């Protein structure tokens, strides 16, 4: 089963398939872009407040990491993501989440 989950971009996993909340065009969300040429690959890395949306035709949009996006995710992948997020939160909290 596929689900549509709306979250700010900074919460979403790297390379998540997303759309704008009311849109249908799919993008890949990423925090880095690599350019390949005759020299070594060049990498552009976004700062913590920026993310890149890469469309299927290779167009790149720069967005705020706070922008809400719709993550089109399989239920099992969402469960795994939430479990990892819970464990990360538990590790960050003094004394756990008790």
For residue 88, what is the domain's CATH number? 2.30.30
Please state, in angstroms and rounded to a whole number, the distance separating the CA atoms of residues 29 and 68: 12
Number of structural domains (the chain) is 1
Structure confidence by residue, pLDDT tens digits, 53-85: 999 999 999 999 999 999 999 999 999 999 988
Q: Which residues of 37-55 are buried (b: 16+ CB within 10 A; e: fewer)?
A: eeeeeeeeebeeeebbbee
29: left (phi over 0), alpha (psi -120 to 50) or beta: beta
Tell me the whole-structure pTM to 2 decimals.
0.80
Question: Does residue 16 lie in a domain region?
Answer: yes
Per the model's pLDDT, the better-predicted residue between 84 and 9 turns out to be 9
The contacts of residue 37 (CB under 8 Å, 6+ apart) are none
Calculate Rg over the CA atoms of the chain: 16
Question: Does residue 98 lie in a domain region?
Answer: no
Q: Could you tell me the residue range of the domain that residue 75 belongs to? A: 2-92
Question: Does residue 23 lie in a domain region?
Answer: yes
């Amino acid at each position: 089963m596929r689900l549509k989950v709306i979250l700010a971009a900074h919460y979403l996993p790297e390379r998540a398939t997303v759309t704008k909340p009311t849109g249908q065009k799919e993008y890949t969300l990423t925090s880095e872009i690599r350019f390949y040429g005759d020299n070594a690959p060049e990498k552009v890395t976004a700062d913590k407040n920026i993310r890149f949306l890469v469309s299927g035709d290779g167009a790149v949009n720069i967005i705020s990491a706070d922008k809400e996006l719709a993550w089109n995710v399989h239920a099992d992948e969402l469960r795994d993501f939430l479990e990892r997020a819970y464990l990360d939160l538990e590790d960050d909290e003094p004394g756990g989440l008790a």
